[in-house]
Amino acid sequence: EVQLVESGGGVVRPGGSLRLSCAASGFTFDDYGMDWVRQAPEKGLEWVSGINWNGGSTGYADSVKGRLTISRDNAKNSLYLQMNSLRAEDTALYHCAREFCSGGSCYIEYWGQGTLVTVSS
């Protein structure tokens, strides 16, 4: 059974930093690209960042570029999101996600339950 378990969320002041982690199990981690998708309270889904199977290629939404950094450790079956210079608009539930890409299209096969990040003074 595929399991994605996020941790590291919390309350942080504007301008502060957090590091999110995602522990993956139930599949061969380094066979898949991974993503972070967030959902602000009572709002829709927003893709944040993605990374390919070996960490050699990453992508970011314009809203987080230069402030958030995605990485992975295949030896530990773990995905990370380093969050710096946080803003109030970064407040959201952050989901770890396993993607599947084929024929020029990608979608999210599995989602974690998420970890809540609150940016507030």
Partner 1 sequence: SYVLTQPPSVSVAPGQTARITCGGNNIGSKSVHWYQQKPGQAPVLVVYDDSDRPSGIPERFSGSNSGNTATLTISRVEAGDEADYYCQVWDSSSYVFGTGTKVTVL
Binding site for partner 1 (CB under 8 A): 35, 37, 44-47, 50, 59, 61-62, 95, 100-101, 103-109, 111-114
Considering the complex, state which of residue 37 and residue 86 has its C-beta at the smaller distance from partner 1.
Answer: 37
Considering the complex, what minimum distance in angstroms separates the CB of residue 22 from partner 1?
12
Instruction: Please say whether the beta carbons of 48 and 64 come within 8 A.
Output: yes
Considering the complex, what minimum distance in angstroms separates the CB of residue 17 from partner 1?
24
Considering the complex, what minimum distance in angstroms separates the CB of residue 121 from partner 1?
28
Considering the complex, state which of residue 3 and residue 17 has its C-beta at the smaller distance from partner 1.
Answer: 3
Considering the complex, state which of residue 16 and residue 108 has its C-beta at the smaller distance from partner 1.
Answer: 108
DSSP, collapsed to helix, strand or coil, labels residue 92 as strand
* Backbone angles phi and psi of 102, in degrees to 5: -160, 140
Considering the complex, what minimum distance in angstroms separates the CB of residue 44 from partner 1?
4
Q: How far apart are CA 4 and CA 77, in angstroms?
A: 10
Q: Which of left, alpha, beta for 85 (phi over 0: left; psi -120 to 50: alpha)?
A: left
Q: CA angle at residue 34 from 31 to 39, to 5 degrees?
A: 155
